[in-house]
């Protein structure tokens, strides 16, 4: 079956530090990959996505590249802000199985200190 | 604005009581999902529906029930058979193959006293 493994948290950084959150996946088909962000007390919202190998998703200064050879989709940001403090989820959606039925990692909590 | 509306945001229940969580969407999406989130864990799929009047069990369906009588609505009932119901519940709808994106509500936090 499909699975997603995320870097364990929590992660604490100072403002303007570089961020990497690792994500690797196992899938039988050719999944689409996503990063979702969850702010305290809220639901998840899409941060970025990539639908095929070597695609780079980007949004709000965050980036992630779909690496088929290493089955990875690591999230990066060059300079984090306090407002980036949230829980980040890596996910995959394999449309060869049940469309929209996504598999999520356990989430990584990021705290950015001023 | 289009989106997913969940209610109530907070709910307290005594043991032995059933409770129903509401989920409404005005995005015209066919597929809808219910997830459970526990502290430090990822999202686990409870039930999903890909079309009106049809739904399937997810990974942790025991103790839960759903209905899908209207495209816009996908309520979740947490029954007394659910042994550990205290959790954060998230409803989502799927944007289709073009986007692949799940759209989430703001969640309902259920606490059993």
Q: Is the pLDDT of residue B91 over 70?
A: yes
* A98·B43 Cβ contact <8 A: no
Query: Is residue B42 over pLDDT 80?
Result: yes
B83 touching A, CB under 8 A?
Answer: no
Residue among B45, B94, B106 whose CB faces A99 most closely: B94
- In sequence order, the 6+-apart residues with CB closer than 8 A to the CB of A86 are A37, A38, A39, A40, A109, A110
Per-residue pLDDT of chain A (114 residues; tens, 9 = 90+): 889 999 888 999 999 999 999 999 999 878 899 999 999 888 899 999 999 999 999 999 999 999 999 999 999 999 999 999 999 999 998 766 555 688 899 999 999 999
Measured CA to CA, the distance from residue A20 to residue B6 in angstroms comes to 32
Q: Evaluate if residue B103 carries a pLDDT over 80.
A: yes
Phi, psi of A82 (to 5 degrees): -55, -35
Q: What local confidence, expressed as pLDDT, does residue A15 receive?
A: 97
Token readout for A33 is 């990959």
Q: What are the tens digits of pLDDT across the range B13-38? A: 998 899 999 999 999 999 999 999 99
The 3-state DSSP class for residue A89 equals strand
Q: What is the DSSP string of B53-109?
A: TEEEE-TT-TTEEE--SBTTB--EEE-TT-S---EEEEEEEE--TTT--EEE---EE
Q: Number of residue pairs across A and B with CB atoms under 8 Å?
A: 66
- Kindly tell me the sign of the dihedral angle through the C-alpha atoms of A52, A25, A109, A36: positive
Cis peptide, bond prior to residue A19, ω within 30 of zero: no
Contacts of A10 in chain B (CB under 8 A): none
* Interior angle at CA B78, CA B19 and CA A94, nearest 5: 135
Q: What confidence score (pLDDT) does residue B54 get?
A: 94
Cβ-defined contacts of A59-65 (< 8 Å, 24+): A62/A35, A64/A23, A64/A33, A64/A35
CB contact under 8 A, B41 and A44: no
């Amino acid at each position: 079956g499909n699975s997603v493994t995320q870097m364990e948290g929590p992660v604490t950084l100072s403002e303007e530090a570089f961020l990497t959150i690792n994500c690797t996946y196992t899938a039988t088909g050719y999944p689409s990959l996503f990063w979702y962000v969850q702010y305290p007390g809220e639901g998840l919202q899409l941060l970025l996505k990539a639908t095929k190998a070597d695609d780079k998703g980007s949004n709000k200064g965050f980036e992630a590249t779909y690496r088929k050879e290493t089955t990875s989709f690591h999230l990066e940001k060059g300079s984090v802000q306090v407002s980036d403090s949230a829980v980040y989820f890596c996910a995959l959606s394999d449309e060869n199985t049940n469309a929209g039925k996504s598999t999520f990692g356990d989430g990584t909590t990021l705290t950015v200190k001023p | 604005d289009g989106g997913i509306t969940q209610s109530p945001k907070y709910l307290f229940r005594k043991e032995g009581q059933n409770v129903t969580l509401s989920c409404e969407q005005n995005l015209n999406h066919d597929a809808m999902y219910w997830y459970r989130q526990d502290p430090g864990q990822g999202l686990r799929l409870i039930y999903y529906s890909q079309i009106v009047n049809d739904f399937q069990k997810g990974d942790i369906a025991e103790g839960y029930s759903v209905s899908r009588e209207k495209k816009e609505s996908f309520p979740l009932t947490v029954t007394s058979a659910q042994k550990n119901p205290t959790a954060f519940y998230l409803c989502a709808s799927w944007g289709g193959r073009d986007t692949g994106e799940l759209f989430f509500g703001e969640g309902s936090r259920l606490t059993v006293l």
